[in-house]
Amino acid sequence: MPFESETVARARRHLRKRDPVMRRLIDVVGPFTLRARRDRFRMLVRSIISQQISGKAARSIGRKLEDLIAPDRVAPHTLAALSIADLRSVGISPQKAGYLHDLAAKVDSGAVRLSRAARMADDEVIAELVQVKGIGVWTAQMFLMFSLGRLDIFPHDDLGIRSALRNLYGLGGLPDREMSHRIATPWRPYATIACWYLWRSHEVAERLTAFPER
């Protein structure tokens, strides 16, 4: 099972030992509370809906879509049955409606094998997901982290991660790929846990002062 308590405890010990900045961050943020989301298809639908809009707007549209499909659940066949006009009626743009139909078709055809994803390597999962229109590497990485609970994913292009690295490690600007991976090297094989703490750092910024030199 992803994010088992013993595994998370081991990851936290590793991060605290290997990186003084991460040690301070863990102390300030507190326990790791992420839980993997079991409904894989629904998570991908929500990921597409969320692109380039606020979290509040995405949640509202997601609820409207689920209400539209109810009493059935969001699944490839129920989503495919909706027209572009149906999807637009709940606030989904025509472009994203096309992405959702493509996702439903590829999952239904077996081109994207969500039922086997837990047994596939990270790179295999990414390769299948990026076949879907509107899903890139970042979205696939979020799926690996939040749905499959993979422990060592590092989405170096994520703006929240890059800005946290800049703030916490005293950088002059947003780090590039090389710098980001260099900072993340001591976290392996628990980069996912570290990234969760980096995202949380934005919520406790005022408490994160006097970091030790790296």
212 within some domain: no
| Domain ranges, residue 83 | 40-146
Decide if 102 contacts 84 (C-beta within 8 A): no
Can you give the pLDDT of all 214 residues of the chain as single tens digits? 578 999 999 999 999 999 999 999 999 999 999 998 889 999 999 999 988 888 889 999 999 999 999 999 999 999 999 999 999 999 999 999 999 999 999 999 999 999 999 999 999 999 999 999 999 999 999 999 999 999 999 999 999 999 999 999 999 999 999 999 999 999 999 999 999 999 999 988 777 764 444 4
One domain, residues 116 and 44: yes
State the angle between helix axes of 159-168 and 191-201 in degrees (0 to 180), rounded to the nearest 10. 80
One domain, residues 51 and 139: yes
One domain, residues 111 and 200: no
Number of domains in the chain: 2
One domain, residues 23 and 114: no
One domain, residues 74 and 118: yes
One domain, residues 106 and 158: no
> What CATH code is carried by the domain that includes residue 93?
1.10.340.30
Q: How far is CA 146 from CA 34, 58, 98, in A?
A: 8, 17, 24
Please report the pLDDT score of residue 214 as a whole number: 45
One domain, residues 203 and 134: no
> What CATH code is carried by the domain that includes residue 160?
1.10.1670.40
120 within some domain: yes
Write the DSSP string, the chain. -TT-HHHHHHHHHHHHHH-HHHHHHHHHH-S------S-HHHHHHHHHHHTTS-HHHHHHHHHHHHHHHTTSPS-HHHHHTS-HHHHHTTT--HHHHHHHHHHHHHHHHTSS-GGGGGGS-HHHHHHHHTTSTT--HHHHHHHHHHTS--S----TT-HHHHHHHHHHTT-SS---HHHHHHHHGGGTT-HHHHHHHHHHHGGGGGG--SPPP-
One domain, residues 80 and 27: no
94 within some domain: yes
Please report the pLDDT score of residue 180 as a whole number: 97
95 within some domain: yes
One domain, residues 50 and 26: no
51 within some domain: yes
Please report the pLDDT score of residue 41 as a whole number: 96
Please report the pLDDT score of residue 16 as a whole number: 97
HSE value, Cβ hemisphere, 13 Å, CA-based, for 80: 12
- Domain boundary residue, one of 122, 146, 170: 146
One domain, residues 56 and 30: no
